[in-house]
Structure 1
């Protein structure tokens, strides 16, 4: 079963299959810490995916805390074999849509997007958890073809215990986002609910950072931070910060 899923997914990745191996990439831990600070809405781990080889270059040992497996057990085929059977068709469709999306981007914009979707993975004890996968390109060639991606897996079972998996492409550095993407339909930018500054603050709220620390981090006053937080609640019709966090994760706003 796991080999079949892997072979089907490799067909999707074949757009890169004939390229030479990507050059070595040195990633410092501080980069990981910076990226991970945006995703701490639950227990998480991360890995580096080599799109050319269809293999994992690195798996963070934190996977043992989330799923109960040792990092050295986590090959790409093993990870795919742990997908809930009902989520396998959607996983293949999401991967195809993601490859299509990044293939259409001009080279200068490949690093300005992250793909995110959720699916259920089986833990070592046999239980299933809902994982939010967020992937961003960290290395591409001169044509913009993706060579390596950094993927973060976050346990969001407490935020989304049930429901249909959804796919979104989140624009960074002012690029438009495409949320709750309908597969095989023309992409049109979704209406941006939050401003760029509000998204910055929301990401830090998701990282459990209090308003005073957010103000210091962004070099603005705490009063300004509090004003932005109130505006976000008003614009979204949500009554509390906790509800805002849940809605942001479900809707793919950040």
Structure 2
């Protein structure tokens, strides 16, 4: 079963990166910069996905702490075997939609988006957990075709124990977002609930950084940070910062 699903996924990925082999990648600093842009609200690990070969170039050893598997055994077909049977269809639909989305982007915008969706994965002890996958391009060719992506898996079971998997494309550097995408209707920019600066504050809040340190990082006053936080609560009708974190995660605001 997992081999068949893998072959179907390879067909999708081959559309995205139709070439023999990607060039070598030398971007350790770029990887670390991108990792920092992913908020982490639970146990997580990351990996580099080679879209041309349909395999991992690197799997972070943190996968053992989160799922209980050794990084060396985590190949693409093996990881697909961990997907909950009810979520396999969603996985293939989301991957196809992601290929369609990135293939339609102008080359200058390929690096300005991340795709995010949630799926249930089986841990080594047999328990299923809900993982949030966030992926962004870290290498593309001269035509904009995605060659490698950086993906982060975060355990969000405590924030979304049940519910249907959801796909979003989150705009970075001021680009519009496409949230809770209806795959059958295509991609329609979502109305931005919060401003770009509020997103920057929220991203740091989600990373567990206190307001005073957020002020230092963004070169603004703590009073301004507090104002942004109050504005976000008022706009969204949410009463507490904890509820804001859950809402931001579920709606894909950052």
Same fold per superposition (TM over 0.5):
yes
Runs of 4+ in 1 over 6 A off after TM superposition: none
Q: 1:208 to 1:37 in 2, by over 3 A?
A: farther
More deviation, 83-92/184-193:
184-193
Q: 1:211 to 1:34 in 2, by over 3 A?
A: farther
Distance 2:2 2:78 in 1: 7
Q: Which runs of 5+ in 1 are unaligned?
A: none
Distance 1:188 1:134 in 2: 20
Number of matched pairs: 254
Distance 2:30 2:14 in 1: 32
The 3-state SS of whatever aligns with 1:227 is helix
- Cα drift, residue 15 of structure 1: 1.0
Paired residues of 1:117 and 1:168 also in contact (CA < 8 A): yes
Q: Which residue of 2 aligns with 1:68?
A: 68
Distance 2:218 2:31 in 1: 18
Q: Which residue of 2 aligns with 1:24?
A: 24
Q: Which residue of 2 aligns with 1:218?
A: 218
The 3-state SS of whatever aligns with 2:15 is coil
**Superimposed CA distance per residue, residues 152-205 of structure 1 (whole angstroms, 9 cap, x where no aligned partner):** 000000000000100000000110000000013131100000100000000000
Q: Counterparts in 2 of 1:38-187, with a 5 A limit?
A: 38-187=38-187
Paired residues of 2:31 and 2:150 also in contact (CA < 8 A): no
The 3-state SS of whatever aligns with 1:169 is strand
Asked if 1:192 is matched to 2:174, the reply is no
Paired residues of 2:61 and 2:71 also in contact (CA < 8 A): yes
- Cα drift, residue 20 of structure 1: 2.5
Q: 1:164 to 1:197 in 2, by over 3 A?
A: same
More deviation, 30-39/136-145:
30-39
Paired residues of 2:31 and 2:138 also in contact (CA < 8 A): no
**Superimposed CA distance per residue, residues 15-57 of structure 1 (whole angstroms, 9 cap, x where no aligned partner):** 1464031111123267426524532110000000000000100
TM-score between the two structures when normalised by the length of structure 1: 0.97
- Over the aligned positions, Cα root-mean-square deviation in angstroms equals 1.2
Distance 1:248 1:12 in 2: 29
- Cα drift, residue 14 of structure 1: 2.0
**Superimposed CA distance per residue, residues 189-239 of structure 1 (whole angstroms, 9 cap, x where no aligned partner):** 000001000000000001000000000010100000000000000000000
Distance 1:19 1:37 in 2: 29
Paired residues of 1:39 and 1:154 also in contact (CA < 8 A): no
Paired residues of 2:159 and 2:246 also in contact (CA < 8 A): yes
Paired residues of 2:91 and 2:119 also in contact (CA < 8 A): yes
Q: 1:69 to 1:114 in 2, by over 3 A?
A: same
